Structure 1
Amino acid sequence: MKKLLLSLSFILSTHLLYAQSFAEKVDNIIKTEFNEKDGPGGVFLISKNGKPIYEKAFGLANLELNVDLQPNSVFQIGSMTKQFTAIVILLLEQEGKLNTSDYISKYIPDYPNGNKIRIHHLLTHTSGIKDFTKTKGLSEIAQKEMTPKMMIDYFKNEPLDFQPGEKFEYNNSGYIVLGYIIELVSGKTYEDFIKSNIFDKIGMDNSYYATDRKIIKNRAYGYHQKSYGYVNKSVISFSVPYASGSLMSTLEDMLKWQNSLNQNLLLNKKEAAKAFTKYKLNNGEEIEYGYGWHLKNINGIPTREHGGSIFGFKSMGVYIPSEDIYVLGFSNCDCNSPTQIVKDIAELVVKDLQK
């Protein structure tokens, strides 16, 4: 009996030692960038089989009030919004309301070259449409309330950068057009459709279409860093990034999102697979992008990745399907990026699995 107890004690202590060692390794990776207690910081999560195995916050949520970040703090997630936009398009396709092979002229008849640009091109950043974030007049509309049509009118007459399907070039404008198509097809605003068909359905109770006006419980405030110190983030109208980058969420809610995709709570397997397929250009060259996700690998193990950046905030998520590992990081200063840190943590997890 003593031998059995000693054996169990050894196993438990070894497991505890490993857990502590792993957490310390993760902490050390994060602290290479997020090491300032009195400045803005970030929150990080690692999950295995749909459940958190590491969750921690670093730094402050509000510098003026000296409030610490918490794992449940609400962050703007920037371009991780594109995942939601892409899945909604597939949801509407599943319901027979559109097809990803449709030309956008079917929904926006006056769109220039709309009879050449398919919904598929918008989803995969292969449309050739000019990215509105690279236009000279962006500062003139950044703080204006823009309808989706006004946003599209802002960039639609810009000449194509290349013919649809010829090239992959990351493009926010395409996802603006997708958001407008969602509204035209569903009869709901993008904000309302996301809330009722995703957030409410899978219990993402602390996720929102971004706003600086409403009271958001546990909000993390965004910051820039200047040579003389930190300043509050620049004001932006969220009607400008719209379906390309205007959502807010938490670590817990984004894990619910990832789990819902794994469990096919929103889409059937056949439809969901379209989001995670590597597509080809007109010349047959394969691109590392599906619908709303970069499709890459860590040491040969396939991953689904996406980050985001918007005034005052940065985000990054890496999912490893074969191991059901999800690594996620949010920052509330655009001076600190979680991108490489999240990738490094994912690589650490992969290495530990391969031992």
Structure 2
Amino acid sequence: MMETIKQVAKETAKAETFAGTYYVVTPEGIVTDSFGFANRAERIPNQTNTRYGIASGTKLLTAMAICQLADSGKLSLHAKLADCLEIDFLAIDPEITVHQLLTHTSGIADYFDEEVMDDYEELWQQTPVYQMRKGKDFLPLFQQQEMKEKPGTTFRYNNSGYIVLGLVVEQASGLSFSDYVEKAIFQKAGMPRSGFFEMDALPEGAALGYIDEENGKWRTNVFSVPAKGGADGGAFVTAPEMARLWQELSAGKLMSKEMVASLLAPHVQVEDDLFYGYGGYMKGEAGRVYKHIFMGYDPGVNFRMACYPETGHVLVVCSNNSDGAFELQTAIETALFT
């Protein structure tokens, strides 16, 4: 089985021109491999311990931070926004709850509304991307926009909601969002190579994100994503450390098992067998969850993680290209389960 996974992954990576790392935890052991370059100009290859951006995969970290703070009594999952955040709400309904923000049912306007635009880079034509380094920097992008729906009525994937959650974490903890996550999650889970790095000051071993043009040329994503990631996306991790995070979380080492159950419960039905919990999707039926799904997509970033609670399998795919992670994940899952 291990050799089959490795061969299937190799063939798929070649067909998709995949650049990145996959890391599979199975009951029989670990399978991993890397492809492409972390730095194309210097021809530095991607490796197992390469640090990759994970875009919206970061929302799992944000949800974990909120649940930790709720676990310690510093906030309530059902607290109203007005009771746990001191900002000028302007057009944002102060009656929105933390739970609604976590489940994308808050109804607030999204600063990246995919019904209006489909290219994340469009955002930075008017707003200097190099200024986007803290959660509060994003508030002008949505703070005065009218509510989209009544809170609690509609699932609508929402980056703005997670920006707000990051501000809630800061007020409840007294730390910046990135400092809190690095201290309470990365350090406790044993993730020393993970962090929130500034795009113009990346550390050793961090992969540059690449955007391929139709004319065959390419460019990095330094001007295409915020200068520093935050609560809605942009953390850097290694593939093995993300697998470790899931194992530490599942074992109840980062919060109480009761809170873990709440974090990973199917709170909102998105489609027939697809649900959303706090920070991630899941597949399930009749009260049974058989697959947790975490993902992130940005220009030059492509991340997928699938976790199977019944079998113990964990599959992490990190890419420093805009595409390819889903195709590689699908090929590996086919090899694993058929």
Q: When the two structures are superposed, what TM-score results if normalisation uses the length of structure 1? A: 0.84
CA contact (8 A) 1:176 1:242 kept: yes
Partner of 2:8: 25
Change (3 A) 1:113 1:215: closer
Would you say the 8 A contact 1:125–1:174 is kept in 2? yes
Q: Percent of pairs identical after alignment?
A: 25
Cα distance in 2 between the residues matched to 1:103 and 1:186: 17
Structure 2 residue corresponding to 1:268, chosen from 233, 242, 256:
256
Q: Which of 191, 197, 217 is the matching residue for 2:184?
A: 197
Distance 1:241 1:201, change over 3 A: closer
Structure 2 CA distance, aligned partners of 1:96 and 1:149?
25
Deviates more, 1:342-351 or 1:99-108: 342-351
- CA displacement at 1:33 relative to structure 2: 1.1
Question: Do structure 1's residue 42 and structure 2's residue 20 form an aligned pair?
Answer: yes
Between 176-185 and 124-133, the greater mean CA deviation after superposition:
124-133
Match of 1:132 in 2: 111
Query: Which consecutive aligned stretches of 4+ in structure 1 deviate over 4 angstroms post-superposition?
Result: none
Q: Deviations over 1:223-273 (max 9, x none)?
A: 111123222224256467521002001011111211111211111111111
Q: What is the Cα deviation at residue 52 of structure 1?
A: 5.1
Residue 215 of structure 1: how far off its partner (Å)? 4.6
* In structure 1, C-alpha distance between the alignment counterparts of 2:331 and 2:54, rounded to whole Å: 20
Relative to structure 1, is the Cα distance of residues 175 and 230 closer, same or farther in structure 2, using a 3 angstrom cutoff?
same
Note closer, same or farther for the CA distance 1:90–1:163 as it changes in structure 2 (3 Å cut).
Answer: same
Q: Distance in 2 between matches of 1:305 and 1:337?
A: 16
Report whether the alignment pairs 1:144 with 2:124.
Answer: no
Q: Say yes or no: does 1:85 pair with 2:94.
A: no
**AA partner of residue 78 (structure 1):** A
User: Which amino acid in the other structure matches residue 145 of structure 2?
Assistant: E
CA drift at 1:301: 6.9
Q: Structure 1 residues 286, 26: closer, same or farther in 2, change over 3 A? A: closer
CA contact (8 A) 1:128 1:164 kept: yes
Residue 223 (1) aligns with residue 210 (2): yes
Contact 2:92/2:144 (<8 A) preserved = no
| CA–CA distance in structure 2, aligned partners of residues 223 and 346 of structure 1 | 26
Greater CA drift, 139-148 or 121-130:
139-148
My pick for the range that moved more, 263-272 or 130-139, is 130-139
**Unaligned 5+ runs, structure 2:** none
1:309 match: 297
Give the equivalent residue in structure 2 for 1:120: 99
Query: What whole-Å deviation, never above 9, does each CA across 1:39-96 have from its counterpart, x for those lacking one?
Result: xx111111125x8521000111111111111111111111010000000100000000
Aligned to 1:8: none
Q: CA deviation at 1:286?
A: 9.1
Q: Find the aligned partners of 2:209 and 2:147 in 1 and give their Cα distance.
A: 34
User: What is the letter of the counterpart of residue 138 of structure 1?
Assistant: L
- Identify the residue that residue 331 of structure 2 maps to in structure 1: 344
3-state SS in 2 of match to 1:296? strand
Q: Which has the larger radius of gyration?
A: 1
* CA offset digits 1:102-161 (Å, max 9, x no partner): 111112354245343110111001111111013788322233245433422431221111
- Which of 233, 237, 252 aligns to 1:245? It is 233
* Unaligned 5+ runs, structure 1: 1-17, 36-40
TM-score (norm 2): 0.88
Shift of 1:297: 5.1
1:169 aligns with 2:152: no
1:56 aligns with 2:41: no
Which deviates more, 143-152 or 122-131? 143-152
Would the alpha carbon gap of residues 62 and 345 (structure 1) be closer, same or farther in structure 2, given more than 3 Å must change? same
Which residue identity lines up with residue 20 of structure 1 in the other structure? E
1:187–1:61 Cα change, 3 Å: same
Instruction: Please state whether the residue corresponding to 1:159 is helix, strand or coil.
Output: coil
CA distance in structure 1 between the aligned counterparts of 2:4 and 2:137, rounded to whole angstroms: 53
Amino acid at match of 1:200: Q
Q: Provide the C-alpha distance between the structure 1 equivalents of 2:34 and 2:55, rounded to a whole number of angstroms.
A: 19
* 2:200 and 2:222 in contact (8 A); partners too: no
Match of 1:12 in 2: none
Please point out which of 69, 73, 79 is paired with 1:96: 73
Q: Which amino acid aligns with 1:94?
A: D
